[in-house]
Amino acid sequence: MRDDAMGSAAGLRKNTVRMHGRDRIHIGCVVAVCVLYALLLVCVAAGELPWADYETRGAFSMGAALMINFLFPPVLLGVGMIYGLRPQSLPEPQSQSRPNRQSGPSHRVADGTTVRGALRAFLFPLIASLPAFPLIFMLAVASDFCAVNSACTQVGPWILNWISLGQVWWFMELFAASGCIGLTATLLVRLVARLVRRLKPGGTGPDR
């Protein structure tokens, strides 16, 4: 009885440590995305300060534009790649067919559980692109002037240029695609590594 209790406690500690290790990747990716958007928020907000001079506002707006074009895509690509390292992003197949004399050992690398885990993982880069909408909207659509041949609406001190609204959707698609591409690359590498390990004699262990 005592041995069973000690074994259960040891197993619980092992699972807890394993879950904490898995959560570190998730938390790290969330923190990286939050820091990225916080920097963009600072630049966008500083570029809209009514008491700042034109040069200061222009500098912050230019900084925000540079971040959107050259910082966000590679960072979200890297975050997606790291997020793909989570065990939950590519679960091991739950149903392994038993080896027999005719078919030999199973080389299955994915099943329904694996596919569902991968699909859930793609929610992260998609959700990570959503905060970009209000920030890029303020940067690209809201301004203090209306360009020639533009459809504009004045809302308080701002003039909304609806012609620029397409830029908002384009950048949101770019951010989502960057994260999904990075995640896909990692998952494909893990699948290939899992297949190679399955093909080796006695290679049926879980991902490392």
Q: Which tens digits make up the pLDDT trace of 5-55?
A: 444 555 445 555 455 555 899 999 999 999 999 999 999 999 877 777 888
> Residue 133: which of 30, 66, 37, 58 has the closest Cα?
37
The answer as to whether 98 is a domain residue is no
- Indicate the range of 75-79, 106-110, 132-136, 174-178 predicted with least confidence: 106-110
How many separate domains does the chain show? 1
Determine the average pLDDT of the residues in 53-82: 94
Cα–Cα distance between 10 and 20 in angstroms, integer? 15
The answer as to whether 100 is a domain residue is no
Say whether pLDDT at 85 is over 70. yes
The answer as to whether 105 is a domain residue is no
Determine the average pLDDT of the residues in 151-177: 86
Say whether pLDDT at 97 is over 50. no
Helix (H) or strand (E) holding 56: helix 54-66
Say whether pLDDT at 205 is over 90. no
- Residues of the domain holding 13: 2-91+110-199
pLDDT of residue 198: 85
The answer as to whether 30 is a domain residue is yes
Q: Which two tokens stand for residue 197?
A: 């390990």
pLDDT of residue 53: 84
* Percent of the chain's residues with pLDDT above 70: 79
The answer as to whether 167 is a domain residue is yes
The answer as to whether 204 is a domain residue is no
**Phi-psi label, residue 104: left if phi above 0, alpha if psi -120 to 50, beta otherwise:** left
Determine the average pLDDT of the residues in 100-111: 64
Q: Is residue 109 helix, strand or coil?
A: coil
Banded pLDDT at 121 (limits 50, 70, 90): very high
Q: Which two tokens stand for residue 185?
A: 């690359």
Say whether pLDDT at 148 is over 80. no
The answer as to whether 76 is a domain residue is yes
> Residue 92: which of 70, 75, 113, 61 has the closest Cα?
113
DSSP state for residue 143 in the 8-state scheme:
E
Q: What integer best gives the mean pLDDT of the chain?
A: 83
The answer as to whether 153 is a domain residue is yes
